Structure 1
Amino acid sequence: MLKNKYIGNGILVLTGSLLSVSFYAFRAAKRDIVPISLERVARVTGKTISGETLPNPNKTNELYDVGGTDLGIAWKMGNGKVGFFFGDTYGNDFKVVNEGGPGKAGNWRSNVLGLSSDKNLGDGLTFDGMVAHQIVPSPHIIDGTGSHTTIPTAAIHAAGTDYVHYMDVRKWGNIGSWTTNYSGLYKSTNNGQNWVKCNEIRFGALSNFAQVTYAKKDGFVYMIGTVPGRWGSAHLARFKESDILKQTAYEYWSTTKGWVKNDESSADAVIEAPLGELSLAYNKKFKRWIITYLNEKKAEIVLRDAENITGPWSSEKTLVKATEYPGLYGAFMHPVNENSDEFYFLMSMWKPYNVFLMKAKLKFAD
């Protein structure tokens, strides 16, 4: 009679009086997370256009003079609401133009902020209000010699304060390419109503953290970043919440040395190029890190997952294709779905130059 005996490391030995057989019983390979059942739920910003049947609960063009905008970077604020940072924003005179983008609309603001306590997103995302004046200032010098605009890339609530990471854009280049002057932080101690510059933090024009995404876990803020534009690889850093304004305390992930303190150049790539508009979260239901971003080469918004923040990361899984939603970019996860298989995110489209709420389901691959 054969008997089973586990001796460790996944090895199963079959033993018997007449026969002895051994073989490796490998554990089932880790299954990737895959998105399914994609749908566009609602318009988040701007005016309903002719023929569109999507809910438009915010009517931002009428209520806040926000006719055209993009991004919609979401984070949990300290007061229980969710904040949404938008990029270059234009007024109620905004009109959709054939080439996309803002056209000749007025009241240009580099960034504005939406505030929401809505946690039932099935019928759309409703704002409680907006801070619709420009928060991070820019003189809008458009000849390539100064600050063209100041674009938010990520936001986080850390140690009792709300922070926004932004890039000071010097000039726009070819598709998916631009040049920055530097990147830094602004902070708010009154739930987003007022913001002040954090002079303690500054990333250079060629930094791998010129654009970032944040997520918190176990007392740390993890930060994945790229160089300016959409063609760089992803690099990893972390810091304690209380050290967010102590750049010398930041640690950078090296594949050979591990966490290296105060040496940004030691940060190795954890995901290969190209990545643009990153969004990071830890999902407790799946016990996985999830990152979404635009792959400009594929013209797709994609998703990867990993058991450990340092990797290895899964292969890319298509979330949205530009063939179905032309001019798509940005895929900023709404925190309501962080621990669920319901997956809400904010997606921008260039031609309507506005933001839409999207929904998918997540599951383990079969």
Structure 2
Amino acid sequence: MATPASAATGGPCGQGGSGSGSLGSSGSSGSATGSLDKALPWITGAPDGALPRLSGKTKAIEMVTGPGSPNDTIARFNVSGTDLGIMWDNGNAGGQHDVLMAFGDTVGDCDSPGDDWRSNVLFRSSDTNLADGMRIDSSPLDRPNHSRQVIKGFGIPGEYTVIPTAGISVGTTQYARFMSVKSWDSPGKWTTLYSAIAVSTDNGETWTADPTTVRANVAGIDIPGIAAVTPGNDNFQMSAFVDGKDGFVYEYGTPSGRNGGARLGRVAYAQILNLNAYQYWNGTGWGADIGQAKPVIEAPVSELQVQWNDYLHKYVAMYTDATNSIVIRQADRLEGPWSGTQTILSGLLVPSLYGGFMHPWSKGQYLEFVGTTWDRYNVIYFRTDLNGLQMKAADQADRPDPATTGEAKLLGVDRPSEATPILQAPQGQ
């Protein structure tokens, strides 16, 4: 496992930072230099709770994690900084209907040795009132008020951190695809050793990484029983799961980094751990060769999530684009065609943005989702009014960023300790 940043210059708490920015768990932008031989990426300061105030269709509702969060994640879970927040329905595991929420690299006390760093943590929420935020009920703990790392990877040489990228329940069993990061490279690029699936049968409390699900991305990985690198594995290092409601789990795959396109595979529910049972969309039909998978959403796609939307009557793909904005596309079928993009949260208004993940219980006119910024290094809860955003799948024209048309503006930023905004946007911005 990765080594905490006890002697690092930089690191998620920003100690000794250069002001260059951060790559976060997803390498959104900024310095290509990580702490401890790239084990952890930089951020510019300590975890932050600054909440942007926005006009337009998308509003920031609250901080999910860190300073200023109504969930008090610092005191309850020793989570002061984290990112991502991938959400999925738990399938009523154990008779408890929850949304599970998986996070990436996490820090606790920034004054403690190593910043109390963990590769990932998990929260649970049964909150059904999505309009006012997201109340967190519990988290797997290793001691009182301390969330533990839930997915441990295989601990092979060069495995610096393991980051969840997708989650789904099949029945009441939870499956999380994760990537093993070898190095943080230039901005927006990183190298993975492999991706694999971890399994939980107790509502996310404990997880076991399954070696038979490894898609090796680097030659020479020493895990017993793992096959050599297969051409096409590189295109499925990060994932997005969708329940097709047709007996199949669908898995979108993207390469490590932020510059690849999205490809599509599927597997019968009962065979999700059997890589030999997967089929891949080759542009005209389904085939067994992962190397023949064709992009269904063109590059660049990063931190992709896909789910059905009952208001738009379309599948919605949400991801971070090349401008560090969160965009959506719409489609009638999972394999596409996909519409042009619509920017629902502009990187011009919320800089250093990445990781848009939709709430699985979102229904009706409003779409709830979360996003992260590397300067806050915490997760923000957003809500978008979908009225007027309907697009036909065949409409391939990208819509203009509402921040450039004046339809959306940054009105200010509120810090948890201040009653008035600390930033006023220039007129017309």
Give the TM-score taking structure 2 as reference length.
0.69
Does residue 117 of structure 2 align to residue 93 of structure 1?
Answer: no
In structure 2, the residue matched to 1:41 is 61
Does residue 211 of structure 2 align to residue 199 of structure 1?
Answer: yes
Q: Which amino acid aligns with 1:276?
A: S
How far off its partner does 1:365 sit? 4.5
Q: Which amino acid aligns with 1:179?
A: T
In structure 1, the residue matched to 2:125 is 116
In structure 1, the residue matched to 2:386 is 362
Q: 1:302 aligns with which of 304, 309, 327?
A: 327
How far off its partner does 1:242 sit? 1.2
Q: Distance between the aligned counterparts of 2:314 and 2:114, measured in 1?
A: 42
| 8 A contact 2:152–2:209 mirrored in 1 | no
In structure 2, the residue matched to 1:288 is 314
**SS where residue 290 of structure 1 aligns?**
strand
Offset from partner CA, 1:71-107 (integer Å, 9 cap, x none)? 0000000221000000000013279xxxxxxxx9611
| 8 A contact 1:139–1:149 mirrored in 2 | no
Does residue 374 of structure 2 align to residue 350 of structure 1?
Answer: yes
Q: 2:137 aligns with which of 111, 120, 128?
A: 128
Q: Identity rate of aligned residues, in percent?
A: 39
Offset from partner CA, 1:184-222 (integer Å, 9 cap, x none)? 011110111111121221112252110000111222111
Q: Which amino acid aligns with 1:219?
A: G
**SS where residue 326 of structure 1 aligns?**
coil
How far off its partner does 1:326 sit? 1.3
| 8 A contact 2:57–2:344 mirrored in 1 | no
Q: Which amino acid aligns with 1:246?
A: N
Q: 2:82 aligns with which of 52, 69, 72?
A: 69
Structure number with greater Rg is: 1
In structure 1, the residue matched to 2:224 is none
Show structure 1 runs of 4+ deviating over 2 A: 92-95, 138-141, 284-287, 363-366
Q: 1:234 aligns with which of 237, 262, 271?
A: 262
In structure 1, the residue matched to 2:287 is 260
Offset from partner CA, 1:31-75 (integer Å, 9 cap, x none)? xxxxx6100001000012xxxxxxx22111111110110000000
In structure 2, the residue matched to 1:320 is 345
Q: Using a 3 Å threshold, how does the CA distance of structure 1 residues 94 and 165 change in structure 2: closer, same or farther?
A: farther
Q: Distance between the aligned counterparts of 2:251 and 2:326, measured in 1?
A: 20
What does residue range 124-163 of structure 1 map to in structure 2 within 5 Å? 124-131=133-140, 132-137=147-152, 146-163=158-175
Q: Distance between the aligned counterparts of 1:201 and 1:282, measured in 2?
A: 26
Does residue 195 of structure 2 align to residue 180 of structure 1?
Answer: no
Q: Which amino acid aligns with 2:72?
A: K
Q: Distance between the aligned counterparts of 1:341 and 1:272, measured in 2?
A: 28
**SS where residue 279 of structure 1 aligns?**
strand
Q: Distance between the aligned counterparts of 1:186 and 1:69, measured in 2?
A: 20
**SS where residue 335 of structure 1 aligns?**
coil
Does residue 87 of structure 2 align to residue 84 of structure 1?
Answer: no
Segment drifting more, 157-166 vs 86-95: 86-95
Q: Distance between the aligned counterparts of 1:40 and 1:284, measured in 2?
A: 22
In structure 2, the residue matched to 1:224 is 252
| Length, aligned pairs only | 309
| 8 A contact 2:154–2:209 mirrored in 1 | no
Offset from partner CA, 1:2-24 (integer Å, 9 cap, x none)? xxxxxxxxxxxxxxxxxxxxxxx
Q: Which amino acid aligns with 1:136?
A: I
In structure 1, the residue matched to 2:19 is none
Offset from partner CA, 1:201-248 (integer Å, 9 cap, x none)? 111225211000011122211111101011000101111111111111
**SS where residue 361 of structure 2 aligns?**
helix
Q: Distance between the aligned counterparts of 1:159 and 1:231, measured in 2?
A: 34
Offset from partner CA, 1:239-261 (integer Å, 9 cap, x none)? 111111111111100114x0112
- Unaligned ranges ≥5, structure 1: 1-35, 49-55, 96-103
Q: Distance between the aligned counterparts of 2:388 and 2:57, measured in 1?
A: 14
| 8 A contact 2:367–2:384 mirrored in 1 | yes
| 8 A contact 2:239–2:304 mirrored in 1 | yes
* Structure whose residues are more often strand by fraction: 1
Q: Which amino acid aligns with 2:310?
A: K
Q: Using a 3 Å threshold, how does the CA distance of structure 1 residues 116 and 254 change in structure 2: closer, same or farther?
A: same
Q: Using a 3 Å threshold, how does the CA distance of structure 1 residues 94 and 329 change in structure 2: closer, same or farther?
A: farther
Q: Which amino acid aligns with 2:105?
A: D
Q: Which amino acid aligns with 1:60?
A: T
Q: Which amino acid aligns with 1:209?
A: F
**SS where residue 354 of structure 2 aligns?**
strand
Q: Using a 3 Å threshold, how does the CA distance of structure 1 residues 286 and 123 change in structure 2: closer, same or farther?
A: closer
| 8 A contact 1:301–1:329 mirrored in 2 | yes
Give the TM-score taking structure 1 as reference length.
0.81
| 8 A contact 1:139–1:148 mirrored in 2 | no
How far off its partner does 1:136 sit? 1.5
**SS where residue 270 of structure 1 aligns?**
coil
Does residue 302 of structure 2 align to residue 276 of structure 1?
Answer: yes
**SS where residue 83 of structure 1 aligns?**
strand
In structure 2, the residue matched to 1:100 is none
Q: Which amino acid aligns with 1:357?
A: Y
**SS where residue 190 of structure 1 aligns?**
coil
